[in-house]
């Protein structure tokens, strides 16, 4: 049963690390090799927060066999890691915010559509996993965002009720998933401008990075 504990739940790609341009570039490279020219902005709005297997079927067909889907995803993710590795770092202010949260007894979780290999690449590559009470990824839930599953499972593993959780996101599909989970959201404009989130009533703050945020202000919102 959920307790009155407060929790911060972070999307990973585009939120903890400013890497969505590299994800988009790797997808564009992957699909171009298969004769598909895709608009990067439209692709992001349509797919950010969805699992790789869902994206593959959206563009290559619903009848794509599971084994082939997995193989293609592994190929795409290897392109991404090769492109992004030299640039891997956290968004400004992130390390300070989570340090202050830990001191205040706020539980910390990651809730991402990324597969385990990319979670390891980011969290372990930056020595971040030790800070989190829960890490939930694509392997833990059947559906990607905007379904709320990944956020609800993260809250459950932290022992926090949805109304006591604040989600940090960079994508409209992620903010919608937080809304469906009954959670407030903070938007990081690492990928899209603030105007892209105007329709959401669960957004309590929009910031360019974490250095602008304080824990008291966030929970008071």
Distance CA 107, CA 55 (A): 31
- Residue 207: both structure tokens together: 């910031």
- Of the candidates 11, 13, 18, 149, the residue annotated as catalytic is 11
Q: Judge if the upstream peptide bond of residue 36 is cis by omega within 30 degrees of 0.
A: no
Find the radius of gyration of the CA atoms of the chain. 17
- Residue 104: both structure tokens together: 């205040």
* DSSP 8-state code for residue 197: G
Residue 37 designated active-site: no
- Residue 120: both structure tokens together: 């390891």
Distance CA 86, CA 75 (A): 19
Using alpha carbons, select from 192, 184, 191, 180 the residue that is nearest to residue 213: 184
Run of H or E residues at 97: helix 94-103
- Tokens 């699992």 belong to 51
The catalytic residue positions are 11
């Amino acid at each position: 049963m959920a307790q009155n504990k407060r929790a911060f739940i972070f999307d990973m790609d585009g939120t903890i690390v400013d890497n969505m341009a590299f994800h988009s570039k790797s997808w564009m490279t992957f699909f171009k090799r298969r004769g598909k020219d895709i608009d990067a902005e439209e692709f992001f709005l349509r797919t950010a927060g969805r699992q790789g297997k869902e994206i593959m079927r959206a563009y290559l067909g619903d009848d794509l066999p599971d084994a082939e889907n997995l193989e293609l995803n592994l190929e795409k993710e290897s392109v991404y890691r090769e492109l992004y590795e030299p640039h891997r770092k956290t968004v400004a202010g992130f390390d300070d915010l989570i340090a202050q949260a830990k001191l205040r007894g706020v539980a910390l979780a990651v809730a991402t559509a990324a597969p385990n290999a990319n979670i390891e690449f980011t969290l372990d590559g930056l020595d971040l996993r030790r800070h989190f009470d829960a890490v939930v990824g694509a392997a833990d839930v059947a559906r990607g965002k905007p379904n709320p599953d990944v956020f609800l499972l993260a809250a459950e593993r932290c022992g926090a009720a949805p109304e006591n959780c604040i989600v940090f996101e960079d994508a409209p599909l992620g903010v919608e998933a937080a809304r469906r989970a009954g959670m407030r959201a903070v938007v990081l404009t690492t990928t899209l401008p603030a105007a892209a989130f105007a329709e959401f009533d669960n957004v309590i703050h929009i910031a360019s990075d974490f250095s602008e945020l304080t824990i008291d202000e966030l929970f008071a919102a």
